[in-house]
Amino acid sequence: MNLTTRDITFTAVFTAAACMVGFALKIIPPALVPFSLLPLIAMLAGGLLGSRLGALSMTLYTLIGLVGLPVFSAPPFGGLSYIFQPTFGFVLGFIACAFASGKILENKKKPTLYRYSAAMLAGLGGLYIVGLTYLYLILNLYLGREAGFTELLMIGFLPFILFDLLKAALAVSLTRTIVKRINILPIQKHI
């Protein structure tokens, strides 16, 4: 991967944004799957940086948390033991979210409102596919809790999807506005 100084800077900005948002959520009482603004950050990372750098920024966020810094939104907030938490799948899902959001916007045509919307919805799809699959595996295989499909949706999907769709709409609006006004973003190499 050949990265320019600009690529490294933009990637670091989104990694830092993810860390700040994850860290800030520790003041909200945690649920099994806590409310988070991280899906918005992941969609913006993919939409503004592209699939490669967007996914890299969310991967760095994940690695920072796994080495022990308290950037995740649920206890123990960081460290390798977090991989055994039901919410870790959603952390991995942020990588898929950024990648999917960015991939749809990476072609030579100028993005339309439809393509921006499709990109953010694909990002949410990646987030939920990875997050819910991991949640199912942890609950059923590691914690020994018999969780079926309906319970999985009640725990990790239905309480959050409306808010995440609103975050996707905000990501569409912000990404379109920023791409129109700033001509130095990495995603614009593909537009």
Amino acid (1-letter code) at residue 112 = T
- Domain coordinates of the chain in residue numbers? 5-189
Residue 83, classified by CB atoms within 10 Å of its CB into exposed (0-12), middle (13-18) or buried (19+), is middle
SS (H, E, C) 140-188: HHHCCCCCCHHHHHHHHCHHHHHHHHHHHHHHHHHHHHHHHHCCCCHHH
Q: What is the pLDDT of residue 62?
A: 97
pTM, to two decimals: 0.91
pLDDT of 15-67, one tens digit each? Answer: 999 999 877 665 555 554 557 899 999 999 999 999 999 999 999 999 999 99
Distance CA 38, CA 41 (A): 5
**Domain range 5-189, its CATH number among 1.10.1760.20, 3.20.20.140, 3.40.640.10, 1.10.1660.10:** 1.10.1760.20
Residues of the chain with pLDDT > 70, as a percent, come to 88
- What is the residue whose two structure tokens read 């379109």? 176
**Among 100, 90, 72, residue whose Cα is nearest residue 134:** 90
